[in-house]
Chain A
Amino acid sequence: MIVLGIETTCDETAAAVVKRLENGRGQILSNIVLSQVNEHAAFGGVVPEIAARAHVEMLDYVIAKAMSEAKCPFNALDGVAAAAGPGLIGGVIVGLTTAKAIALVCAKPLIAVNHLEAHALTARLTDGTPFPYCLFLASGGHTQIVAVLGVGNFVRLGTTLDDAIGEAFDKTAKLLGLGYPGGPQVEREAAGGNPQRFALPRPMAGKPNADFSLSGLKTALRLEAEKIAPISDDDVRDLCASFQAAIVDVVADRLRTGMKLFRGHYGTPTALVAAGGVAANQALRKTLHRIAFEVGTVLVAPPPALCTDNGAMVAWAGAERLVLGLTDPLDTPPLARWPLSATTARPTAPPVPATGQATS
């Protein structure tokens, strides 16, 4: 089974061709990602209208390249998948409409994939991870702990009530004048700093749910920095180190709680799966290893190129759904918000007690 996957929910214009083998394993035939990072750098974050403008002018070139690199003519496809949300609606519209057009012309099924489900199922493409497993998704737009019980069968154990972790890194970098995207910059500065110099809060620590809240940490960092402004290079390093240490502590605490909730309902997970750009942070990754070990499982972290937004994860999620006969009509709406728990209306495992507000 060969599926084309299209990803345009944020600031990467991406397309890939993935083959699902008879034995359920996956093979990436091509994976093209065109990043818009330069278009957004001056703004210190992704500007939705600029992102949408870039997607509509580049997506067909990216798809053509993915098809030619895979040596796959359109009529050899078994399905066309696109991330239909959640994300920046202008980009989602471009990706989903293009996928519908290709599906219509080639008379192939359309698979409207949830972007979060694509992240969630990537470990099955790269490592063949069996269900059920616990997903920690942390990127510029999402911060979630999810019980992955099956295709279209997800229970969200925790989410952020305000900022995403990657967003907190970006805002820290912006405050300190470190450039965009902020994650790698802050990590580099943190390496040479003193993590104990600034006493930053660990929001939500000890709470019985697995939710995150990061806006208070962001504010505390700004207040500490303003106290000593103008700031020196050493100050920047110490601020970054203190910030990253707080993030690591918060993730450890929230993930321990999330794993406890997971084990209480579904037993020991087959893996702790990391996804999203934040998982590339080495300090965080060390913590994820430790937490997986604590609950008697392993950390599965797909390579960075498959952790950040890409078309292969969408193609793979499309293939996993297609093999179950889950396809979508040509009037499928693009969605800015689309919680994972609403991906497929099918009986799910017993619900976990409500945790905080619903976000995408």
Chain B
Amino acid sequence: MRVLAIDTALAACAAAVLDTNHATLVASETLAMTRGHAEAVMPLIARVMQRAGMDFAGLDRIAVTTGPGSFTGLRVGISAARGIALAAGKPAIGLSTLAGLAAPHIAEDDSSTVVAAIDARHDHVYLQVFGAGGRTVVAPRIAPLQEAVRAAAAAPARIVGSGAGLIFAQWPKTAPPPLLVEQLAAPDIGWIARLGAAAVADSLDPPKPLYLRAPDAQPQDAARLPRR
């Protein structure tokens, strides 16, 4: 199976082509960036496809990170993936950034807990906890930092993502130290491609952003005058 993977959700703009018949990625490129994904992503995908020597018709699916992450970044990646899927007539598949961050650690050892945490600012993190066998113990959610610390310290765990350092900085003195603290700004695009190849495609359910936060808007009728 041939997968084009795209990630613009966090502090990177990345794309890769995976062919499951090969052990290594056919082509990939990752640029570290916190803004400018909308300008960078399409030329980057064009370069990756060219290096892979593949046209879009040769792909089996497009995989994209759906969040959590920067709202704008999510929409850039998902628009790119759904646009490519539409024009190429291929399915698009969405994957969470938290699963992408956790995947290499679960693959290495699935007997202990992996906590994926992304800095959501204002003392909050986006959080997902994976238990034995890589099963989700805490589903993706936005949590106050203190709550994330409690969840992470509950069992010997590896902590990964841009929120890992935040959690470790608040680590309870009485708890044993975490097995690993890996401060990572974005998931490895190769793992997004591998998860994309393994996922079940559902053409009726195209990727949608996983915001985990409601839009910041209040119904306004304060300006309205009283009626007789």
Contact = CB atoms under 8 A, between A and B. Distances in A.
Interface residues of A, number: 50
A329 B95 CA distance: 29
B56 interface: yes
Interface in A20-55: 42-45, 47, 49-50, 52-53, 55
A107 to B, nearest CB: 9
B82 interface: yes
Given A49-B71, A93-B38, A229-B225, A64 B217 contact: no
B173 interface: no
Given A50-B217, A60-B206, A104-B84, A174 B224 contact: yes
A99 B42 CA distance: 10
Contacts of B223: 44, 171, 174-175
Given A49-B215, A175-B223, A60 B83 contact: yes
Contact of B43 (A50, A52, A231, A331): A331
Contact of B79 (A53, A56, A330): A56
Interface string A201-219: 0000000000000000000
Interface string B211-226: 1000111111101111
B100 interface: no
A63 B81 CA distance: 14
Contact of B80 (A101, A176, A177, A331): A101
A333 interface: yes
A175 B225 contact: yes
A59 B79 contact: yes
B171 to A, nearest CB: 34
B78 interface: yes
A171 B224 CA distance: 10
B42 A100 contact: yes
Contacts of A105: 56, 83-84, 87-88
Given A47-B215, A53-B209, A99 B83 contact: yes
B75 A93 contact: yes
Contact of A101 (B39, B83, B209, B216): B83
A106 to B, nearest CB: 6
Contacts of B71: 49, 52, 90
Contacts of B75: 52, 55-56, 90, 93-94, 97
Nearest to B46: A104
Contacts of B215: 47, 49-50, 53
Contact of A104 (B42, B82, B208, B211): B42
Interface in A231-273: 231-232, 235-236
B208 A94 contact: no
B92 to A, nearest CB: 9
Contacts of B41: 97
A176 B86 CA distance: 45
Contacts of B219: 42-44
A102 B83 contact: yes
Contacts, number: 136
A172 to B, nearest CB: 10
B82 A98 contact: yes
B228 interface: yes
A97 B83 contact: yes
A230 interface: yes
B40 interface: yes
Contacts of A102: 83-84, 86-87
B208 A47 contact: no
B17 interface: no
B81 to A, nearest CB: 8
A93 B39 CA distance: 9
A97 B88 contact: no
Contacts of B76: 93, 97
A106 B40 CA distance: 19
A332 B46 contact: no
Contacts of B82: 59-60, 98, 101
Contacts of B88: 105
19 contacts: A49-B71, A50-B217, A56-B78, A56-B79, A93-B72, A94-B75, A94-B79, A97-B80, A98-B82, A101-B81, A104-B45, A105-B84, A105-B87, A177-B225, A231-B227, A330-B42, A330-B46, A331-B40, A331-B42
Given A93-B72, A96-B38, A102-B83, 15 more contacts: A43-B220, A47-B215, A52-B71, A55-B75, A59-B79, A60-B83, A90-B75, A97-B41, A101-B42, A101-B83, A106-B87, A175-B225, A177-B225, A330-B46, A331-B43
Interface of B: 38-43, 45-46, 56, 71-72, 74-76, 78-88, 206, 208-209, 211, 215-221, 223-228
